[in-house]
Each structure stands twice: as structure tokens, then as C-alpha cells.
Structure 1
Amino acid sequence: MSDDAAEDPYISPPVQRAARLLRCIAEGDAVTNMARTARNLDISRTTLLRLLRTLEAERFIAPRGGEGAGWQIGTGLIGLAARAFAADDLMEVAGPILGQLAETLGISAHLGVLDGREVVYMIRRTPNFAFASNIRVGSRLPAHAANMGRIILAHLPVEEVRRIFGRATLQAVTAHTPTTLPQLLTLLEADRSTGLAWSEGRFEPTIASVAAVVRDASGAPVAAINVSGQIAQFEGAERRARIGGAVAAAAAEISARLGWAGASPMGSAA
């Protein structure tokens, strides 16, 4: 029994163990070595297995990749977090702006936040016509490959990017995906210099998108927004300039409403 549970009779040790396991997984332990995780949590392997099965049944965790790849935070827990965030300034401010952006451009608009080496989709707004993406709130994509992840990473200190990826293997999603840290840093520098992260077939062969960073009152990159559609919907210099400008303006408006008083980003269509 933990010290907290011993001091407070109203603390439930099983719930506390489940919460600590969730925190452990969220911080990067995929539980690929059950003996080690059980030892770190001071529980038996049998208790750990029961917790994993229960949390999976509630969709609070989900299997990561193939057999033996471990666990990651699941869409059930992300959904709860998204509903909690609905009362937060970021979600309240961004939702209507993204809705207007989607209707104006006729393509889907999204907001995502960085979670370790992944970007998590927190808002999805689709137009009432034309192409709409089928990505769902709670979806997780590799940050080095998805442009919302890239534009957030581009506005972090290089040392922080190095810490996040460390010795991690950068998996290729397409032939255009950076697969080494130097390649990623070069791409992030280009994204930072233009103020926008463009993608034409970088993640899905027929899909184009563009992302811009969202800052909080301190100027920290707290999220990103993007719009996505068929590549044909992005063709032409005038159309690209219109889309890029609209995304940059929407991100600037969200940031301003969060208290950021810095210069408005002027996204390039290059």
C-alpha cells in the first residue's frame, strides 16, 4: 500500500495503481518488459496484467503496433481529455475559427497538440461540401511525418527536438519522410523560415495540406492547425497563396485570443 493510501483511508489503492500505470505509459514506458514495469510500480506481474486488460477494455490504452510492441494511451482516454479541454481556452477559441476556415476553403481543418513524438488530433471541422478528411479526433500521427507535428517542432529549441527524438528511429511513411535527425532538422528549419509546413503527398499520396503553429500568451508553441484536401484542390499559385494565407491568419487569430501579442505570421506559399 502506498504512503498516500495509508494516510488517507478514502484513497483506493487499485485506482491509484491504474492511474500510475497510465502515467507510466503516457511518459513513454510501452510495457514491453512486464517484469521491469511491475517492479517500477511495486506491483506483481499478475496485477499488472489485470490492469492492462481492464484499461484496454475501457479503451484507456491500446496495443502499439505489432505483437510485443507494447501499449500506448488509447482513444477512450484521449476522448475524455478532449472533452475536458473543451472548457479550456484553446479548444473554445479554436473550434469556431476552424469551422469558418473549413467552410471558407471547402476543405477539412484540424487542430493538434504534440504528445512526445506524436501529434494528437484534438479538433476536426469539415465543410458541408467537397472533400472532407476521415481522420478522427484522438488520432495519433508521427510528429516527424505529419505537418502539424513538424510546425510545432519547428518552433521548439533545437535542443528540445534532439531530446524528444534522441536515438529514436524515424519511420518512413512515404519516400518523402525524413528518416534521420539531421534530415528532420533541415526540414524544420525550412518550415520555420516560411512560417508554414506544406505537405503534398508526404503523408498520403493523394492528399495535400498546410499547417501553422498556435502560440499561447508566453509565445510557446502549444498547438498547430492545418487544412487538408485532395492535391488538386491546392493546385495553382493563387490557390496556394489563398490557402496558406488563410491558415496563417487563422493560427494568428487563435494565438491572439490566447494572449499572444507577437507579430502575426505571414505564411509563404513557396
Structure 2
Amino acid sequence: MNVTTRRSAPSAMPASLPSAVAPALASKQTPASALDAFAGDPNFMTSLARGLVVIQAFTQQSPQMTISQLSVKTGLSRAAVRRCLYTLTKLGFAGAEDGTRYSLRPRMLTLSHTYTTSNTLSSAAQPILERMSAALHESFSVATLDGEDIVYIARTSVSRVMAVDLHIGSRLPAYCTSMGRILLAWLPVDQLEQYLATVNLIPHTTRTVTSVDKLRLILRNIRRNGYALCDQEYEVGLRSLAVPVYSPSGRVVATINLSGNAPRMSVFDMQTRFLPHLRNAANELSVFLR
């Protein structure tokens, strides 16, 4: 398989830093070094940014870390990590049971809850997805684009359809997912070309598209057809279908999808039985954005 590689930066880019930081990461080695792009900006709070870098260093694979481990992972000095953890601990967002290995605390959930309850798209999407899941007994999601990834902002799941446990806030690569391709297909031309010039098309399965030219053609067809169907490109056995969600101005601001087990759910079924439901849900969700 011919894998297209368009950048020399490490693939372990921190996914949820602000989009303004992403370009800097392309030529840097650590999350902390990306903050150098804002050096000299009197309005940029470096201490706050460092705290966010520390928070985002905790993952499902690394839920507990020492100061030394966090320093290596983030690129921040041990002293800076220690001050960030001290502040987060005092505020109840982090802690260390044994005094050395830190982890995030449940109070972190208040931050995500604030987003989901204050964001019109997220709060409006959840009941729509739940209603569809109850009627169709399938798993549905809504996501937006953040850098090179999609981010789940609403989700219902009637069964485990992926090896990873997806939830609100989960991130997946845009290029090999149905929701990601919807969001890419409706990007302004200059933004799409910038994305295609830098993205690293990693083959997650033998079906993953790893050619920029082929991906560009697929995105063109998606825009023409009005939906994206991704067949086992991110994970073997996973098939998904997505449609765009439009704002009143006609801009695609999100995407809604159905995901299911490939042996159980055929492509024909998705296109004939489920596509109309997805389009109706997307239209309903668009009403809340007016």
C-alpha cells in the first residue's frame, strides 16, 4: 500500500489545543513549544495556556502521571508542571492520592458540562439523537471539526460498535471517518488545500484511503451527493453514514451520523433505510441554529 506522507512533524500532536496553535505544532516537538508562537503577545496568558497543556496531557492511556512524566510529555519544565498541578489541585481539578502520581478529578466534568449546556448545537442535538436511537435501535452522533480531527459533541449508543469507547469529547481523524469527510468536503477551498498539504494519511485498515488525490475526489463526490459513507476505513467491521448540518447562512457547521456493524448493516440499507432519517434529523437540528 502506498502511504502518502505530507509532513515531517510527529504524529502525536495534541489534539485539542486551540486551532491557532496547530500551525505552530507542525514544526515543533512538544505541546509547550507551540506556545512560542504567542511570545510577545501582551494579551496572551502563558500560565493559563500551560495549565491547559497539562490538563490535555492526561488521556485514557495515561490517566495518572508523575511531574517528571508530565514534563517529558508536555515539554514544560518540572517547575512549571509543579505549579500548574499545585493550582489545579487547590481548585479541585486534579490531585495525587499517593502524593506523586497525579490524575484529573471529577470537577473537570463541570467544564465539559458547561460547554454542552451552553452550546445550542450540542444541547439541541442530544434529544434528537436519543429519539432516533429509541425508534431505530442504532447509534447516532453529532460532531464538529477541530484542526485535523472531528470532536463528538452529542452521542447516543445502543451497542458498542467500535473497539474504542466513544463519548462526548472523543476525537477521531477526519480523513477516514464519514463525519470528518462531510466537514472536510464543505471547507472553503483554501482551508481544504491547506489541510490536504499537511495531513498524514495513516492506514488504519487495509481499506483506508492514503492518497491525497483520491481523497480529494471522494470529497468532491460527497459534496455532490450530500452524504458520506465510510466503509471500514478507520476500523475493520465499522461502517458509517453521515450528512451535513447547515447554519442559517448555508455554512456546514456540524455533521450527524449513523454507525453500525458492517456484517449486520449493508451499504444498501444505509442508503435506502437510514439516509432519509439522518437528513430529517439534520434539517431539524438546523432549525435550532436560526
- TM-score calculated relative to the size of structure 2: 0.65
Decide whether the 8 Å contact of 2:24 with 2:37 is kept in 1.
Answer: no
The answer to whether structure 1 residue 60 and structure 2 residue 56 are counterparts is yes
Decide whether the 8 Å contact of 1:103 with 1:126 is kept in 2.
Answer: no
The answer to whether structure 1 residue 170 and structure 2 residue 201 are counterparts is yes
The answer to whether structure 1 residue 257 and structure 2 residue 288 are counterparts is yes
Within a 5 Å distance, the mapping from 1:177-188 to structure 2 comes to 177-188=208-219
Q: Paired residue for 1:4?
A: none
What SS does the corresponding residue of 2:245 show, helix, strand or coil? Answer: strand
Q: Tell me the alpha carbon deviations over residues 79-113 of structure 1, each in whole angstroms, 9 at most, x when there is no partner.
A: 83563242222122211111112222211111111
Decide whether the 8 Å contact of 1:89 with 1:258 is kept in 2.
Answer: yes
1:32 to 29, 34, 37: 29
Q: Which one scores higher on RCO, CA 8 angstroms, separation ≥ 6?
A: 2
Distance 1:233 1:101, change over 3 A: farther
1:138 to 144, 169, 181: 169
TM superposition shift of 1:256: 2.9
2:142 to 102, 105, 111: 111
Q: Tell me the alpha carbon deviations over residues 43-86 of structure 1, each in whole angstroms, 9 at most, x when there is no partner.
A: 9xxxx89975x5455x33458x9x98868xxx998983563242
Structure 1 regions of 5+ residues with no counterpart?
1-21, 260-270
Pairs aligned (count): 226
Distance 1:86 1:27, change over 3 A: farther
Distance 1:78 1:161, change over 3 A: farther
Q: Paired residue for 1:190?
A: 221
Q: Paired residue for 1:209?
A: 240
What's the RMSD between the two structures over aligned residues? 3.6
The answer to whether structure 1 residue 225 and structure 2 residue 225 are counterparts is no
TM superposition shift of 1:206: 0.8
Identity %: 26
Please list every run of at least 4 consecutive aligned residues from structure 1 whose deviation after the TM superposition is greater than 6 angstroms: 48-51, 67-71, 75-79
How far apart in 1 are the matches of 2:224 and 2:143? 21
What SS does the corresponding residue of 2:118 show, helix, strand or coil? Answer: coil
1:84 to 115, 130, 136: 115
What SS does the corresponding residue of 1:169 show, helix, strand or coil? Answer: coil
- TM-score calculated relative to the size of structure 1: 0.69
What letter is aligned with 2:123?
E
What SS does the corresponding residue of 2:248 show, helix, strand or coil? Answer: coil
Decide whether the 8 Å contact of 2:150 with 2:174 is kept in 1.
Answer: yes
Q: Paired residue for 1:245?
A: 276
Distance 1:215 1:69, change over 3 A: farther
Within a 5 Å distance, the mapping from 1:140-155 to structure 2 comes to 140-155=171-186
TM superposition shift of 1:146: 1.3
Q: Paired residue for 1:158?
A: 189
TM superposition shift of 1:229: 1.4
What SS does the corresponding residue of 1:213 show, helix, strand or coil? Answer: strand
Decide whether the 8 Å contact of 1:117 with 1:165 is kept in 2.
Answer: no
